């Protein structure tokens, strides 16, 4: 487990003080993919650099496997950093070195023999899907291939933790998905703890188990990804969730599709996990004397199961409507009657 307690970073300039990270406390479990999301200037990149002391904290502690990183002398910190891999938005590769030599570089610094370096490098090249590219230079690679080299290099010393600072921000959507799939595969195969910094909710939705939302240096919300999706609490979190389904929080726009009869209700349904596969609308239409008009909806996979939202207009006699809504709730689906114009 990684225990982060009261972590802060204050920058003092000539004219002002800037609180980049403000009293952040988090526990990150071994083997999970933990996301930290925030808009530009939220402090998330500074936060991740405090974890391995690329930035020195003003106060607070980072305890990793019962070792307090923030109190380590320089010689012990250098050794500990070998067990904290890091990948970056702009790859940070050595442009004069081949793929093979980039991945071998941290092993050279660690003092591994040439034979052991070769064995490890070839294993990592295969792991990240770059077989055949050993002698290529970074200038000959696509963005996704460069990031795969960065990931392989970060894994060279068998780290306990992998820090990803906006690792997919410079990539196109298809390549982003490929890199995220690779990170999930590495997480499952190696049991590696991954802390992922991003400003994209799609990234959180696709691979993270839990998420912390940052704003102005503070964590304003944290929880399981599905819980945060279904019931976002802070204004910032609601804005991020809205990225995945822009209409979900604009209920007034549904009025263009509503019949708005006296005997109708508009219902917002949340489907979570296996419930997203259930033919609930068909069941309700067969079981109750109602008419159902599907207004709009979406479904997205997460690491903890599918998450879906569906807006429907349901017409029928008042008592029957109440029974139909009660039935939907009994199935484990969240059903909320929506006020509409």
Predicted confidence (pLDDT) per residue in 184-196, tens digit: 999 999 999 999 9
- Alpha-carbon span 135 to 24, nearest angstrom: 43
Confirm if 242 and 66 have CB atoms less than 8 A apart.
Answer: no
Tokens of 229: 């999706």
Q: Are residues 307 and 230 in the same domain?
A: no
Tell me, what's the pLDDT at 240? 87
pLDDT higher at 299 or 198: 198
- Cα dihedral 254, 257, 262, 266, rounded to 10, equals -40
Residue 329 CB coordination number (10 Å) = 12
Helix (H, G, I), strand (E, B) or coil at 73: coil
117 in the same domain as 64: yes
* pLDDT tens digit sequence for 68-114: 999 999 889 988 888 999 998 888 899 999 999 999 999 998 888 99
Domains contained in the chain, number: 2
Confidence of residue 340 (pLDDT cuts 50, 70, 90): low
**What is the sign, positive or negative, of the torsion defined by CA atoms of 318, 323, 329, 332?**
negative
Please write the tens of the pLDDT for every residue from 264-291: 788 888 777 666 667 888 889 899 999 8
**The pTM of the whole model exceeds 0.95:** no
Q: What pLDDT does residue 280 have?
A: 85
CATH number at residue 324: 3.30.70.260
Same domain, yes or no: 184 and 201: yes
pLDDT exceeds cutoff 70 at 250: no
pLDDT tens by residue, 16-42: 889 999 999 999 999 999 999 999 989
Q: Which residue has the higher pLDDT, 315 or 305?
A: 315
Percentage of the chain surpassing pLDDT 90?
54
The CA distance from 52 to 80, in Å, is 9
Q: pLDDT, tens digit, for every residue of 218-239?
A: 999 999 988 888 788 899 988 8
Euclidean distance between CA atoms 58 and 62, whole angstroms: 12
Residues 240 and 255 placed together within one structural domain of the fold: no
Distance of CA 325 to the CA centre of its chain: 33
Res. 341: pLDDT tops 50: no
Q: What is the CATH number of the domain that holds 126?
A: 3.40.50.300
> Residues 193, 275: one domain?
no
**pLDDT of the residue at 242:** 78
Mean pLDDT in residue range 124-139:
94
User: What is the pLDDT at residue 119?
Assistant: 94
CB atoms closer than 10 angstroms to residue 116: 12
Which strands sit side by side in the sheet containing 291-302, from one edge to the other?
Answer: 291-302, 305-315, 264-272, 334-338
Confidence class for position 247, pLDDT limits 50, 70, 90: low
3-state DSSP assignment of residue 77: helix
- Reported as a pLDDT band with limits 50, 70 and 90, residue 216 is very high
Give yes or no: residues 194 and 263 share one domain: no
Q: What is the mean pLDDT of the chain?
A: 88
| Tokens describing residue 160 | 């306990």
Instruction: For residues 224 and 156, state if they share a domain.
Output: yes
Per-residue confidence band for 310, with pLDDT thresholds at 50, 70 and 90:
confident
**Dist. CA 114–CA 122, nearest whole Å:** 12
Q: Which residues contact 260 (CB under 8 A, 6 or more apart)?
A: 340
Query: What sign does the CA torsion over 251, 255, 258, 262 have?
Result: positive
Domain housing 77: 2-244
**Given this model, what pLDDT does residue 133 score?**
94
Last residue of a domain, one of 193, 214, 244: 244
- Of 244, 269, 289, the residue that ends a domain is 244
Residues 278 and 182 in one domain: no
Domain boundary among 244, 270, 293: 244
pLDDT of residue 115: 93
Domain shared by 121 and 23, yes or no: yes
Residue 307 sits in the same domain as residue 159: no
CB 195 within 8 A of CB 36: yes
Same domain, 220 and 285: no
- Residue closest to 305 by CA, chosen among 198, 194, 202, 225: 225
Q: 300 and 324 in one domain? A: yes
Measure the CA–CA gap between 99 and 121, rounded to whole angstroms: 9
């Amino acid at each position: 487990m990684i225990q982060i307690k009261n972590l802060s970073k204050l920058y003092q300039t000539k004219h002002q003080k800037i609180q980049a990270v403000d009293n952040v406390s988090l526990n990150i479990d071994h083997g999970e993919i933990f996301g930290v999301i925030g808009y530009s200037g939220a402090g998330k990149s500074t936060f991740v650099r405090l974890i391995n002391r690329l930035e020195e904290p003003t106060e607070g502690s980072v305890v990793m496997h019962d070792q307090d990183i923030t109190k380590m002398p320089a010689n012990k910190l250098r050794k500990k950093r070998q067990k904290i891999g890091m990948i970056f938005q702009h790859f940070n590769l050595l442009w004069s070195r081949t793929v093979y030599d980039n991945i071998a570089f941290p092993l050279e610094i660690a003092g591994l023999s040439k034979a052991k370096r070769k064995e490890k490098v070839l294993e990592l090249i295969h792991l990240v899907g770059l077989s055949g590219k050993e002698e290529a230079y970074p200038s000959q690679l696509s963005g996704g291939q460069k990031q795969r080299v960065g990931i392989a290099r970060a894994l060279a010393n068998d780290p306990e933790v992998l820090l990803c600072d906006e690792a997919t921000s410079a990539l196109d959507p298809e390549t982003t998905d490929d890199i995220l799939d690779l990170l999930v595969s590495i997480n499952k195969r190696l049991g590696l703890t991954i802390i992922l910094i991003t400003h994209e909710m799609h990234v959180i939705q696709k691979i993270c188990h839990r998420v912390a939302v940052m704003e102005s240096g503070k964590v304003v919300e944290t929880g399981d990804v599905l819980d945060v999706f279904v019931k976002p609490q802070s204004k910032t979190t609601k804005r991020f969730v809205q990225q995945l389904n822009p209409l979900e929080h604009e209920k007034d726009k549904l009025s263009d599709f509503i019949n708005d009869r006296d005997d109708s209700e508009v219902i917002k349904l949340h489907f979570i996990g296996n419930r997203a596969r259930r033919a609930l609308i068909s069941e309700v239409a067969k079981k109750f004397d109602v008419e159902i008009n599907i207004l709009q909806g979406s479904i997205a996979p997460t690491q903890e199961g599918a998450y879906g939202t569906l807006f429907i207009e349901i017409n029928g006699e008042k008592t029957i409507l109440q029974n139909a809504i009660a039935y939907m709730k009994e199935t484990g689906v969240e059903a909320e009657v929506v006020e509409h114009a």
